[in-house]
């Protein structure tokens, strides 16, 4: 197994209500799972290949709950990535060189019946985790805008977080509202649904823990 590690930030928008039942081992809000988003890798490596400042993105669709399988995936990699970086990133994204079910990449890969050929294109990412604001533009594929949840009475920004001491993606995620549109192999339209903003630190064994589990 080739050692790898990445650190960065993510913005993910799915079709479920705020909170996302998947985070609580519950069934999806509308009976199916659809999502799109991106990770901006600040620094990382796969073996001897550096992955600093490489962006990745993905579009997912499952006809039911994720664990029921039959999913589809469109992987997308930063056009700036070198051939070696592309190969390394795709191995990580498909769950290779990873302990079984240790990361969300490995978990989701095990539920897919179709993974489309990767797209190499421009990925612009701007994510402020603490402010619960972000924007992802994947040229020719999708756009996502994330913002805070607003109180329906006062209009004030609402802050909620999900703490997963034993999760396979993040330790702590800020929750917001997302709107996204995708085209191509997986065409989705999401309006004011669940969005998560998180700092990621992952390696072959899963999330690298920075907080003491309570």
- Domain definitions of the chain by residue range: 4-207
CB 172 within 8 A of CB 211: yes
Identify the pLDDT of residue 183. 98
Identify the pLDDT of residue 211. 76
Intervals of the chain under pLDDT 50: none
CB 110 within 8 A of CB 71: no
71-78 and 112-115 beta bridge pairing: parallel
For 61-70, what is each residue's pLDDT tens digit? Answer: 999 999 999 9
Query: Nearest Cα to 13, choosing from 176, 122, 137?
Result: 176
For 164-198, what is each residue's pLDDT tens digit? Answer: 999 999 999 999 999 999 999 999 999 999 999 99
């Amino acid at each position: 197994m080739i050692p790898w590690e990445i650190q960065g930030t993510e913005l993910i928008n799915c079709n479920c209500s705020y909170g996302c039942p998947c985070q609580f081992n519950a069934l999806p809000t509308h009976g199916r799972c659809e999502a799109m988003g991106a990770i901006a890798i600040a620094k990382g490596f796969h073996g001897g290949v550096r992955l600093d400042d490489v962006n990745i993105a993905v579009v997912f669709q499952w006809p039911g709950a994720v664990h029921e399988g039959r999913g589809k995936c469109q992987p997308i990699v930063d056009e700036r990535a070198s051939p070696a970086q592309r190969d390394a990133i795709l191995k990580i994204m498909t769950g290779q060189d990873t302990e079984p079910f240790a990361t969300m990449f490995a978990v989701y890969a095990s539920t897919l019946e179709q993974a489309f050929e990767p797209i190499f294109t421009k990925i612009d990412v701007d994510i402020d985790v603490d402010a619960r604001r972000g924007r992802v533009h994947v040229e020719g594929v999708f756009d996502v805008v994330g913002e805070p949840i607003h109180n329906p009475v006062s209009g004030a920004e609402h802050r909620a977080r999900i703490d997963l001491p034993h999760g396979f993606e993040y330790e702590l995620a800020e929750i917001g509202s997302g709107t996204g549109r995708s085209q191509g192999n997986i065409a989705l339209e999401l309006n004011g649904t669940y969005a998560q903003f998180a700092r990621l630190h992952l390696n072959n064994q899963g999330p690298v823990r920075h907080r003491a589990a309570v």
